[in-house]
Chains A and B, each alone.
Chain A
Amino acid sequence: MDFRQRENIGFEFIKSKMLPATPFGMELIKNISPFKKEEEDILKEELNNLNKLSKKYDIVKADINAVRRIFMQMKDVRGSIKFGTENILSDIELFEIKIILMHMEKLKPLIEKLTQNLTLTGFKIEALKDAVDILDPDGRRIPAFAIYDDYSDTLKALRKKKREIEIKMQESEEAFEGLKDKRLLIAVEEEKEERKIREELSVKIRPYFGILLSNIEAVARFDLLLEKYRVSKLYPSCMPQITEDVLILKDTRNPYICDILKEKGLEFTAISIDMSIGTTVLTGANMGGKSVTLKTVALNTYLALCGFFVYANVASIPLFDDIIMIFEEAQSVNRGLSSFGAQIVELKNLLNIIENKFVFAIFDEFARGTNPKEGEGIVRALVALLNKKRALSLLVTHFDHIAELSGCHYQVKGLQGVLEERISKALLTKSNDDAKIGAISEFMNYGIFKVEKEKKPPKEALMICRLLGLQEELLDILNEIN
């Protein structure tokens, strides 16, 4: 899934709600992607950790805040570490490495306590006391660094001599001018000795870089875990079960769309769907929010595969190799292809991938851009083909005679079950057409339901025509010819 698609389904929105405390966590979140098939154990470990954190968060809150406070002080020193593996570090780099080592020292017991209390796995901070001691010879553990006198007797002696001169220089203007050059000579010697020590320190600290980097990696993942917890609280969520090939989402929501609706004073209707290998077709009235359903299913599946909680009451998600969405997007048109042409290119790509990979394929009104007769033919053939593949496919379509071929058929409830009389009563008080459309959408049920085979498609389009007062003449002819 590319950035535009992730943005479109609302995944980037979820990311924007994450507030990592470390540059390491920030980077991890920036590059987040679904776990691969061979990483199933890691994915399950991640979800289990998140689940444990979620259950006991309030109990361990104080410790987590203490961890975050240290996190927030961490600077990205990986550049210095990389530089230091082959070069001599400067005072600033040694300072920064010392500081992060000290942070790790403080973090270690806190993370240990947390992982123990929550029985988390995979977050190990290894002790680096020896490394800190190298940069903190007198063990004061203050957040500063200098080439300390303790490092060499020569240095100590030089500085003592320099200091004596400096004190004399303070006595008078003449003393200052007279001793300036002498002081400078010692300062040069001092710098030479400091350089030697810097070199020794760089070599001594080098062997600890491996452990430090793996500690940093653990910090990054812990930071990420905390942020996954944070976004799990946006809307009701649950830990997804990772399944072989069944996808179940009960009362699922899309926080991105929820927030957009909320701004307009509207509420998101939770959706329930279950799918298995083969095709699932979604049909339903205009204005019914079919695309919303697709985005919601896509988002929550993607979240589960990235090790997040899923915005649903119950969720089972198969470990797909890939989620491929074929949506009619302006982007493909910009590439110079007609929207139909672009979709066909994407389909070709999908059919290639599907042979070797376990794919979740999502189509939003495929072939809408071409003439209805051929379009319908193509989609029928596509459904028949996808039925034979080991993949889950979800298609939204307007074409007739598609659902009958698919393994499973969902419909947006729309206006079904609402008496026309009731709606027309509500429209009486509405003066203009916009207000009427608004009033109709209030009766619209955005939920979806499974359609039994053989059931006739709803005739809502005609009802909407009547409600909005389309000319009788046209409606009469309509009835007549059908």
Chain B
Amino acid sequence: MDIYDLIKDEERISFIGMCKNAGKTTVLNEVIKKLHKKQKNILLTSIGRDGEELDLVTNTKKPEVYIYKDDYIATAADLIKYCDITKEIVESTGIYTPLGEIIIIRALSDGFVQIAGPSISTQMSRVCESFKKHSKGKILIDGALERKSIATGKVSNVAILSSGASYSLDMEKTIRDTIYTSKLFSLPKFEIGLPEDFNRENYAKKYYIIEDGSLKKSEENIDLKEIWAKESDIDNIFVNGGLTDAMINPLLLSNAKLEGKRLVFFDGSRILIKYENFEKLKQRGLVFSCIDTINILAITINPFSAYGNHYDSGIFLEKMQKRTDLPVIDIANKYRS
């Protein structure tokens, strides 16, 4: 499976990693290289800074992205000195991060770059809009781990998920969690119109009943177990924020009738419950849906661990592939790292 074929029709692609050293940057480099070979330019930015792969203090092992002449980047001003391309400044965006203003630069030569983009999704949208003024190339977004949530609807529609032996000593766990993550991102979409005044202050409750496609405000706190204890007309409930195991345990222990009932989330990253609990609820007929979904194009795997416990690459690939319909790509030895 050639990675270029997967992304060739997409406008914006996010790169998400399960952990450090999952090979996300390797995949990103591979995509940029493939696009360059097809004479296609890219516009590259990231969600915040890829902190977990880069140690600013010790300055060890900087994963660097190699881009080509006429590609564009959006990165924070303080990181420009680490980019060894010949630079042409084309825009100062007025978006500020702890590492300085986000600057859009056109590469006048090939070279290595370091990227720290905006960490707020509205700002990311603005950067993407600005990008479009400069080039028609594909927008690539290097997504940091802890902000998986940003790789959703507003910012990007498709993503490549990278996983690897560095995630866990236990290959089974790595596979299970990777598949779970890919499922969470690709949950069915549920359309609701969030009200214009939607914010933490106006909507402070944990759950809201969805009626006729919009949130119904009520004074009382909703208890999932009670509301679905008997036959109920209430089918869809919006979860305002994250869903944890503690919140879901009473429901699991109850006899609530969950067949055909649905929980709606902002996006898959809000589902923080254990995989077992997720499966149990699904088996009882509960449907998980998201307002923003993201289409995972492929899972890449890296059998090499930064901590020494490498997996057998053949078994890893086979087991992972068995659990998903998505293409699984082994990056070991295949791509420049």
Q: Report A's interface with B, CB cutoff 8 A.
A: 75, 90-92, 94-96, 143-146, 159, 162-163, 166, 169-170, 173, 176, 183-184, 187, 190-191
Contact = CB atoms under 8 A, between A and B. Distances in A.
A92 B77 CA distance: 8
Interface residues of B, number: 22
A92 B80 contact: yes
Contacts of A75: 92, 94
Contacts of B20: none
A96 B92 contact: yes
Given A92-B89, A96-B92, 20 more contacts: A75-B94, A91-B89, A92-B77, A92-B80, A92-B92, A92-B103, A95-B89, A143-B91, A144-B88, A144-B89, A144-B106, A145-B88, A159-B86, A159-B108, A162-B86, A163-B109, A166-B69, A170-B68, A173-B336, A187-B111
Interface string B96-120: 0000010100101111000000000
Nearest to B36: A170
A166 B67 CA distance: 11
A146 B109 contact: no
Contacts of A95: 89, 92
B84 A146 contact: no
A173 B101 CA distance: 35
29 contacts: A75-B92, A91-B80, A91-B87, A91-B89, A92-B89, A92-B92, A94-B89, A95-B92, A96-B92, A143-B90, A143-B91, A144-B89, A145-B88, A145-B89, A146-B86, A146-B87, A146-B108, A159-B86, A159-B108, A162-B109, A166-B69, A166-B111, A170-B68, A173-B336, A176-B336, A183-B111, A184-B84, A187-B84, A190-B86
B93 to A, nearest CB: 10
Contacts of A90: 77
Contacts of B69: 163, 166
A-side interface mostly = helix
Nearest to A184: B84
Given A75-B94, A92-B80, A187-B84, A170 B89 contact: no
A184 B64 CA distance: 13
A94 B336 CA distance: 36
B90 A144 contact: yes
Nearest to B33: A170
A296 B270 CA distance: 55
A95 B92 CA distance: 9
Interface in B150-173: none
Interface in B44-85: 68-69, 77, 80, 84
A166 B101 CA distance: 29
Point out which of B89, B91, B106 has the most chain A C-beta atoms below 10 A from its C-beta: B89
Question: Which 5 pairs between the two chains have the least Cβ-Cβ distance?
Answer: A146-B88, A95-B89, A166-B110, A187-B84, A144-B90
